[in-house]
Amino acid sequence: MLVFTMYSSAWNLLATSGQGSLGHAAFFGIGGYVSAIISNSFGLPVILTIIIGGFFAAVIGVLIGLTCVRLKAWFLAMVTFGFAIIVQTVTVELSGLTGGWDGIPAKKLVPVTITNHVMYEYYIILLIAVVVIVIIYLIMKSKMGLALEAIRENELEAKVMGINVTVYKLKAFAASAFFTGIAGALEIHHFGYVTPEVYGIDISFWPIIYSVSGGLYTIGGPILGTVVITAIWEVLRSFGMTYGRFILIGLILILIVIFLPKGLISIPEKIKSKFLKN
């Protein structure tokens, strides 16, 4: 849950700039694969390779942004969707390096030989998640965050105000891809294995579901959405529901979009406004 809290927050940062992505799993997987390959090949500390994986994902994000930054939001979304499929295909073809569909092992975040390694791993991921979310919060509240909001609301007016739209969009893409890459690397080193399934459509769609259900363009929305939707998902699984879970989550998302367009995080505001009216 902590990893996907980071992931959905990173996706939401990109959305704040008015850009959409349906293929963020590409950066999630790139961060994981790069970190796993480097740690396996060079014996570097996992924490260091996780950061390297994030930077590599950011570089790829900038390259994608440079070619597509002038596209409208959902045209860009389709490009990123196609990019995720391409990356998955390339990963499978480079089987000598990536293990193909079988994948490759990844070093554990905390060696299993250490007593209470699971607890230590949890606290490390928690610490990284807090740091990432705080940084994203600071970005959204900074001059850059205000510029991204202005671009999302009206790109033409933002240009007239002197905002370099292209540069800020690229910054948003780079930051989002970086944090997504870190989240992906953490996920891989947590499980100790990585396969091309990490680029799956579901991996791209979860941060969208979490962000929309919790509340787009807010710092708390993706966090709340991740917690609530994951909790519902796990409860449904405990009742033995497999495919039915997807249907119910879909229905919940539709209801939220219709009745709570600002997400679950807007519930207190709605309750407060009703009390004031009464």
**pLDDT (tens digit, 9 = 90+) per residue, 154-183?**
999 999 999 999 999 999 999 999 999 999
Q: Cα–Cα distance between 204 and 212 in angstroms, integer?
A: 13
Structural domain count, the chain: 1
53-78 pLDDT, tens digit each: 999 999 999 999 998 887 777 788 89
| Domain-located, residue 274 | no
Comparing 24 with 243, the larger pLDDT belongs to 24
1-11 pLDDT, tens digit each: 899 999 999 99
| Domain-located, residue 261 | no
| Domain-located, residue 234 | no
| The pLDDT of residue 34 | 98
| The pLDDT of residue 233 | 94
Q: Cα–Cα distance between 36 and 150 in angstroms, integer?
A: 38
Q: Which two tokens stand for residue 187?
A: 């996920």
Q: Cα–Cα distance between 262 and 29 in angstroms, integer?
A: 30
Q: Cα–Cα distance between 207 and 137 in angstroms, integer?
A: 17
> Does residue 242 carry a pLDDT above 70?
yes
Q: Beta strands of the chain (E only): which ranges? A: 104-105, 193-194
Question: Confidence band (pLDDT; 50, 70, 90) for 89?
Answer: very high
Q: What's the whole-model pTM score?
A: 0.95
116-152 pLDDT, tens digit each: 999 999 999 999 999 999 999 999 999 999 999 999 9
| Domain-located, residue 113 | yes
| The pLDDT of residue 278 | 64
Instruction: Please provide the average confidence, as pLDDT, over all residues in the chain.
Output: 94
| Domain-located, residue 142 | yes
| Domain-located, residue 245 | no
| The pLDDT of residue 38 | 98
| Domain-located, residue 29 | yes
195-233 pLDDT, tens digit each: 999 999 999 999 999 999 999 999 999 999 999 999 999
Return the biggest CA–CA distance within the chain. 68
Cβ contact 190:232 at 8 Å = no
Length of the chain, in residues:
278
| Domain-located, residue 207 | no
Contacts of 213 (CB under 8 A, 6+ apart): 225, 228, 229, 252, 253, 256, 263, 264
| The pLDDT of residue 218 | 96
Residue with tokens 């942004």: 65
Domain assignment of residue 117, given as a range = 2-200
Cβ contact 255:54 at 8 Å = no
Q: Cα–Cα distance between 265 and 278 in angstroms, integer?
A: 22
Contacts of 126 (CB under 8 A, 6+ apart): 2
Cβ contact 213:260 at 8 Å = no
Cβ contact 101:196 at 8 Å = yes
